[in-house]
Amino acid sequence: MNSNNLDKRYVWHPYTQMKLWNASDNITIQSGSGFNFIDSDKRSYLDGISNMWCNVWGHDRTEILDSMKNQLDTLPHSSLFGLINEPSAKLAKRLVTIAKGMSRVFYTDNGSTAIEVALKIATQYWNNKGRPQKKKFICLKNGYHGDTIGCMSVGYVDGYFSPYKSILLKTVKVDSPTIRHEKFGPQSIEQYVNRIENILKRMSSKISGFVMESGAQIAGGVNIYPERFQKEISDLCKKYDILLILDEIATGFGRLGNMVEYTAQRSEPDIVCFAKALTGGYFPLAVTLTTSKIFDQFLGEYWNKRQLFHGHTFAGHPVGCTAALTNLDLYEKFNLIKKIRFNSRSLDKLLTKFSEFEICYDIRNKGLLCGIELRKQNKPIKTIDNMPIGHYIAKESLKNGVYLRTLGNIISIIPPLAISEEDLSKIVDTEYQVVEKIQKKIQLMK
Ligand SMILES: Cc1ncc(COP(=O)(O)O)c(C=O)c1O
């Protein structure tokens, strides 16, 4: 059996209706080159979503690959249970230097577990302080923090998680604002902030932490916070003695044009999570960072049970930590943040032409994150050619040599962070052609 047949017989794909998958002509990726995937027929696809938002340098960054190979030769793995390894110690120091206010690093191997750890740390922090009644989490509607039970509870997106609703933790969910295309006029955040303050005023004695993505919600629909919103939440958390837990898993490391988004937002988290771009996308590694105020509450004697009861087999994986260290060296060496800001300005310009399409209801972008929302007569476009719109766009994009997934009716362009200006404009141009085709089809349907 070739890979395609083996896959159809044995593999269960994430977020996939397998009946449709098994009836489809699927693509097998055999190699990577630059920012492209190459399939078994040698066709190449430019990566418009940075391999689920984690790829930084493309697939052949020799510095990262060589450092990982070296580490594999020296020590393939040694866990953090009762032992130290050098890369994880060095990386922790480096991260704490980058992330202002943070003091300690807890290692896991994916974004969801980094968030689970944050939730456990917050819960135990209040327990250790003798305030166990502070155990509820408050979070933003349309937030997304991963697919485990705790993550789904604080990041509920109805379109994804309704089958699991009955087993999720009860959390408090509040509305959040999003920036809109300038055609919508100025926006106010006051009403959102006031509503949140009213809830905190009433409930702060029961609330452990405020959980939100830092800078923008991606999976929930590319909702980019207006200026000051995150700072206002941070100030409210301080005022009402609530921990601020920020998720920079998708938005940190330059995605929004800043190495650490919370600093740019002038917010002060107690706990922050990074993953995805941390290793340039070369290894599954995630971190949960805390301030010393949090960490110190976990100190005591063993029999007092103040220590954090959490740990994964692959925590602090030396190969992943080595990849992350080399990745950080490259960020500095190539001044990647400056390059991202330059490409972000190019993206601004490239996107202006989408405004000519009637179906482009809103276009929002920041750094190298962009969402193009498609609507017809103010209603989300759901299907084209009897296909969910997302499938249609993904298929058309692949046909034109671009790998892209949408968020329902929102085309999300989330390219590798070190992409060239030329490749970036190729992705945007391809999506322009796809939208043009959809607009024509919609006009014919009138
Ligand atoms: C903001 C955010 N948090 C958490 C996660 C979960 O990360 P992972 O898929 O590595 O579990 C994601 C994944 O897309 C994310 O976008």
- What are 174-223's pLDDT values in tens digits? 999 888 877 788 788 999 999 999 999 999 999 999 999 999 999 999 99
Q: Can you give the pLDDT at residue 1? A: 85
CA distance 80 to 160: 34
Question: What's the rounded Cα separation, in Å, for the pair 433 and 49?
Answer: 18
Q: State yes or no: pLDDT of 149 exceeds 80.
A: yes
Mean pLDDT on 107-117: 98
Q: Is residue 322 a contact partner of residue 66, using CB atoms and an 8 Å limit?
A: no
- Taking the C-alpha atoms of residue 306 and residue 142, their distance in angstroms, rounded to an integer, is 34
* Ligand 1 geometric centre to CA of 157 (Å): 13
Tokens 């919103």, residue? 229
Q: Which residue has the tokens 């809109």?
A: 180
pLDDT of residue 293: 98
Among the atoms of ligand 1, which is closest to the Cα of residue 53? 14
144 lines ligand 1 (CB under 6 A): yes
| Nearest one of 106, 111, 104 to 80, comparing CA atoms | 106
Mean pLDDT of 223-251: 97
Q: Which two tokens stand for residue 5?
A: 């047949």
Half-sphere exposure of 19 (CA within 13 A, CB side): 0
CB atoms within 10 A of CB 22: 13
Radius of gyration from C-alpha coordinates of the chain: 22
Other CB atoms within 10 Å distance of the CB of residue 178? 20
For residue 218 and ligand 1, the question of a CB distance below 6 A is answered with yes
C-alpha 145 – ligand 1 centre gap (Å)? 5
Average pLDDT over residues 41-66: 98
Checking if the pLDDT of 35 tops 90, the result is: yes
- Position of tokens 């004695």? 205
| Gap from CA of 19 to ligand 1 centroid (Å) | 26
146 CB near ligand 1 (under 6 Å): yes
Q: What is the mean pLDDT of residues 82-88?
A: 98
274 lines ligand 1 (CB under 6 A): no
Distance 170 CA to ligand 1 centre (A): 21
Q: Identify the pLDDT of residue 180.
A: 82
Is residue 25 over pLDDT 80? Answer: yes
- How do residues 55-66 score in pLDDT, each as one tens digit? 999 999 999 999
Average pLDDT of the segment spanning 131-147: 97
Q: Whose CA is nearest to atom 3 of ligand 1?
A: 145
| CA–CA distance, 339 with 428 (Å, rounded to integer) | 18
User: Is the predicted pLDDT of residue 156 greater than 80, yes or no?
Assistant: no
* CA gap 262, 99 in Å, rounded: 9
Q: Please name the residue ranges forming H helices in 240-317.
A: 261-264, 292-296
For residue 124, with 0-12 CB atoms within 10 Å meaning exposed, 13-18 middle and 19 or more buried, which class applies?
buried
Distance 271 CA to ligand 1 centre (A): 16
Q: What is the pLDDT at residue 359?
A: 96
Kindly report the average pLDDT of the chain as a whole number: 96
pLDDT at 369: 98
Closest residue by Cα to residue 343 from 217, 218, 256: 256
What's the DSSP call for residue 375? E
- The distance of Cα 273 from the centroid of its chain, to the nearest Å, equals 10
Mean pLDDT of 235-261: 98
Distance CA 161, CA 167 (A): 11
Q: What is the pLDDT of residue 182?
A: 75
Q: In ligand 1, which atom is closest to the CA atom of 219?
A: 16
- Residue 213 CA, closest ligand 1 atom number: 1
- Over the stretch 307-329, which tens digit does the pLDDT of each residue have? 999 999 999 999 999 999 999 99
* pLDDT at site 445: 78
Nearest atom (ligand 1) to Cα of 155? 3
For residue 446, the model assigns a pLDDT of 65
Does residue 213's CB lie within 6 angstroms of at least one atom of ligand 1? yes
pLDDT more than 90, % of the chain: 94
Ligand 1 atom with the shortest distance to the CA of 143: 1
CA distance 155 to 137: 11
pLDDT recorded at residue 157: 79
- The predicted model gives 250-267 an average pLDDT of 98
Inter-CA distances, 278 with 3, 65, 70, 285, 315, Å: 30, 14, 19, 7, 14
38 in Cβ contact with 44 (< 8 Å): yes
| C-alpha dist (Å) from residue 124 to 127, 130, 139, 145, 310 | 5, 10, 19, 20, 11
Which residue's CA is the nearest one to ligand 1's atom 2?
Answer: 145
What structural domains and CATH numbers belong to the chain?
Answer: 3-60+336-445 (3.90.1150.10), 63-333 (3.40.640.10)
Distance 12 CA to ligand 1 centre (A): 19
